Amino acid sequence: MISKPDQREHGRARWLVESIALVILALALALVFRATVASAFEIPTPSMSPTIMVHDRVIAERISVHFSDPKPGDIVVFDDPLGGHVPLIKRVIAVSGQTVDVHDGSVWVNGARLNEPYTHGLPTEVGSLPLPCAIPNGRIWVMGDNRTNSLDSRYFGPVDVATVQARAVALYWPVSRLADLTDGD
């Protein structure tokens, strides 16, 4: 027969082991969730302002990119095509089969000028790549909303769809700037 003090110590030890196991399980589930379902990203540059400002935080879902390619207007997180370690976040402007051009301070896709209220009237300048550019299969053209301060497809070309990690769905921090990022503007 176990004495009362021994029973209490046994109960405490069991509680401690169960608590540690629950914490480990919770961490494992959080890591799996982050790797497969959704992640939070902090914005490192002003290339998406004023839509998304430096140090804002967004939630990006990872599931839909496995089932469908990004479409124009989506804000996507993708591997830096120049080899940087921090993923980039930009807006999809054109997709495979479309042709992008920049002139008169505006972006043109398939000969039609885009209506881009998210640029807040900032002009779009031509980058270092020759335009117009026909977007090849499996690629997308991405640009920051802050066209005067964005290193984007105008400089590194169309992005491989396979490098897209996630679609941004919501700006959640700071709370005063909560926003749905799926509406295209």
Residue 66's Cβ-count burial label (10 Å; 0-12, 13-18, 19+) is exposed
> Who contacts 62 (Cβ-Cβ below 8 Å, separation ≥6)?
35, 36, 37, 38, 39, 165, 166
The owner of tokens 């992005």 is 159
Q: Does residue 90 carry a catalytic annotation?
A: yes
Q: Which one, of 59, 99, 54, 86, lies nearest residue 75 by Cα?
A: 59
Q: Which of 3, 49, 68, 90 is catalytic?
A: 90
The token pair at 85 is 């370690």
The residue type of 20 is: I
Q: Which of 47, 49, 150, 153 is catalytic?
A: 47
The owner of tokens 């914490």 is 23
- Catalytic residue annotation: 47, 90
